[in-house]
A and B are shown apart, each in its own frame.
Chain A
Amino acid sequence: NAGVTQTPKFRVLKTGQSMTLLCAQDMNHEYMYWYRQDPGMGLRLIHYSVGEGTTAKGEVPDGYNVSRLKKQNFLLGLESAAPSQTSVYFCASSYGTSRLSYEQYFGPGTRLTVT
């Protein structure tokens, strides 16, 4: 099993450009999450999904959109990138209610720089 994978690993955008980050998991997890990690700030939840076709806002959702059309994929979109969105983005997944397991499994991260 590959676990949680993220594409791309690195990206540089100019202000105003758009992009989509892809997260894929092969563990049949119900729940998926997108976090951002900034120096000295720990991880902050952007959006999450409790199942295919459902999404919800986290702590810092502004400027981001998400979609979960397939259970194994969770996409994070930036419609008009801003320098404040320079960060490392992590995707995670968990079993959720299917196994009452609360451990989250993380991807390797995407380092995004907006100039």
Chain B
Amino acid sequence: SQQGEEDPQALSIQEGENATMNCSYKTSINNLQWYRQNSGRGLVHLILIRSNEREKHSGRLRVTLDTSKKSSSLLITASRAADTASYFCATDAGGSNYKLTFGKGTLLTVNP
């Protein structure tokens, strides 16, 4: 079963706008990761946030984690057409740091 669920399933924005994607999960975690997948390609790791962290930044990415609500959000600021991709959250449910469970993803389309 899916541990993480992304919302929305699809998001379409204009270049320069910000994009926010959300992830909810069911059981306690050690860390949560976000991955990007360009069409027809493998997944690429974006950022990891640990359960004792509330916010993390990497370039134009900002990730928040609310363990009380079992949710995370990924914000991409000043989006570019090259950001068009599917974005997945992944959690380490079951106590293993190394075995991940992926959500179904959010398809982000950035229109030039």
Contacts and interface: CB of A to CB of B under 8 A. Distances in A.
Give the interface size class of chain A: 20 to 34
Contact of A90 (B42, B97, B98, B103): B42
Nearest to A4: B42
A41 B105 CA distance: 9
B99 A45 contact: yes
Contact of A108 (B42, B48, B88, B103): B42
B104 A105 contact: no
A34 interface: no
Interface residues of B, number: 22
Interface string B50-87: 00000000000000000000000000000000000000
Interface of A: 4, 31, 33, 35, 40-45, 48, 50, 58-59, 90, 92, 94, 96, 100, 102-109
Interface of B: 2, 31, 33, 40-45, 48, 88, 90, 92, 97-105
